[in-house]
């Protein structure tokens, strides 16, 4: 068997752990396994940039963060756009056939999964594996990298809390999450944040300030707000996508956290500061939970290949790891449920979401 592997999109912890489980399981079941690793994601497949790898290359990477193959972003919406006469889809198909691959394993998030499904529909033998720190892949309870990102964001929030207390300040801390707020929600609960602002739950700056003022009157002297990078106000949520993009562009690269901090500084009587957790959430070695989940996904991916069940994605459902067709997940996001258990748990603790319900 000749297997192609690529890692696509934003990097995260446990990419290497997943590849390791996939390769070691296949090696145990196949006498003659050849591995082609594509460099920098789909670009490697497009431009025939790859390396022939051995099983030994994957044995000692369980604890290693990042990806030994490198990664890049190749937006799905541009995949079928022919640029300077270069047809990306035909180039990928050509490379696959030229190398006589029996299967291509794609480790990626939502955009990468759409591209994987497209290649499957183009006739290639493809499986995918659910990677993203955002945990927003439809059809799976969990994506590897999520818990590691939560751990990092939680530690960051906890460390901000100590300096906030020392100086009686209010900190608005940006947490990754452009379209969905799973990391911010979980880290905010774990760190005991005073407020959590999510893309799925537009905030009212007046309601947020009143919640802070109420706690000030009760004697609280410092506050930490966990703010997803895609948080938006109720007014912004009512705008068209085009109008909202103009607002984001007008920020000139500055985080929404700065805008929220500027508004709060005019409404509450205390120093307001901004801090950004940033790309560190993608970095470092995977936590134990991610290593276990990555291993389970990798083993399930190998089973799919061995059984020639192509066009599928390993997923977690409850305590089980199974698989679903790529067509079920491609193009869909799993959002935070504003009425779900996690949000209700946070509300029960008095955590504010910047809405009227937080004031009751």
Residue 222's contacts (CB-CB under 8 Å, 6 or more residues apart) are: 161, 164, 165, 167, 168, 169, 170
User: Which residues is 128 bridged to in the sheet?
Assistant: 106
- Are residues 276 and 253 in contact, defined by beta-carbon separation less than 8 angstroms? no
Report d(CA 110, CA 75) in Å as an integer.
10
Catalytic residue check, 134: yes
Q: Which residue has 């407020």 as its token pair?
A: 195
Specify the length of the chain in residues: 360
Q: Answer left, alpha or beta for residue 330, where phi above 0 means left and psi between -120 and 50 means alpha.
A: beta
Q: String of b and e for 329-343 (b: at least 16 CB within 10 Å)?
A: bbeeebbbeeeeeeb
- The pairing of strands 195-197 and 2-7 is unpaired
Report d(CA 140, CA 84) in Å as an integer.
38
256-265 and 205-217 helices, crossing angle to 10°: 50
Residue 187's contacts (CB-CB under 8 Å, 6 or more residues apart) are: 150, 153, 154, 156, 157, 175, 193, 226
Q: Which residue has 């985080």 as its token pair?
A: 255
Report d(CA 219, CA 252) in Å as an integer.
37
Which is the catalytic residue, given 11, 134, 151, 290? 134
Closest to 18 measured CA to CA, from 108, 89, 86: 108
* Residues classed as catalytic: 134
């Amino acid at each position: 068997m000749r297997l192609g592997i690529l890692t696509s999109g934003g990097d995260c912890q446990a990419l290497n752990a997943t590849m390791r489980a996939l390769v070691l399981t296949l090696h145990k079941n196949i006498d003659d396994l050849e591995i082609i690793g594509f460099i920098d994601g789909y670009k490697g497949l497009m431009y025939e940039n790859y390396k022939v790898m051995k099983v030994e290359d994957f044995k000692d990477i369980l604890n290693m963060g990042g990806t030994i193959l490198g990664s890049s972003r190749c937006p799905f919406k541009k995949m079928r756009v022919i640029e300077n006469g270069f047809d990306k889809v035909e180039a990928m198909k050509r490379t696959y056939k030229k190398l006589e691959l029996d299967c291509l394993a794609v480790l990626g998030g939502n955009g990468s999964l759409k591209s994987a499904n497209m290649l499957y529909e183009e006739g290639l033998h493809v499986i995918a594996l659910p990677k993203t720190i955002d945990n927003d892949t439809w059809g799976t309870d969990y994506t590897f990298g999520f818990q590691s990102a939560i751990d990092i964001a939680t530690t960051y929030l906890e460390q901000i809390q100590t300096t906030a207390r020392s100086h009686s300040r209010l900190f608005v801390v940006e947490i990754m999450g452009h379209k969905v707020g799973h990391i911010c929600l979980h880290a905010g609960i774990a760190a005991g944040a005073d407020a959590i602002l999510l893309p799925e739950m537009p905030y009212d700056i007046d309601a947020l300030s009143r919640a802070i003022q109420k706690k000030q009157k009760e004697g609280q002297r410092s506050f930490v707000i966990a703010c997803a990078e895609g948080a938006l106000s109720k007014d912004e949520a009512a705008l068209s996508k085009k109008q909202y993009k103009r607002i984001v562009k007008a920020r000139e690269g500055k985080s929404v956290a700065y805008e929220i901090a500027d508004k709060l500084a005019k409404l509450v009587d205390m120093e307001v500061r901004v801090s950004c957790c940033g790309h560190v959430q993608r970095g470092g070695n995977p936590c134990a939970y991610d290593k276990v989940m990555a291993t389970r996904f990798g083993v399930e991916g190998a089973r799919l290949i061995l059984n020639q069940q192509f066009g599928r994605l390993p997923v977690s459902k409850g305590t089980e790891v199974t698989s679903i067709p790529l067509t079920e997940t491609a193009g869909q996001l799993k959002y935070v449920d504003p009425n779900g258990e996690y949000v209700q748990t946070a509300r029960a603790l008095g955590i504010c979401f910047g809405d009227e319900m937080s004031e009751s």
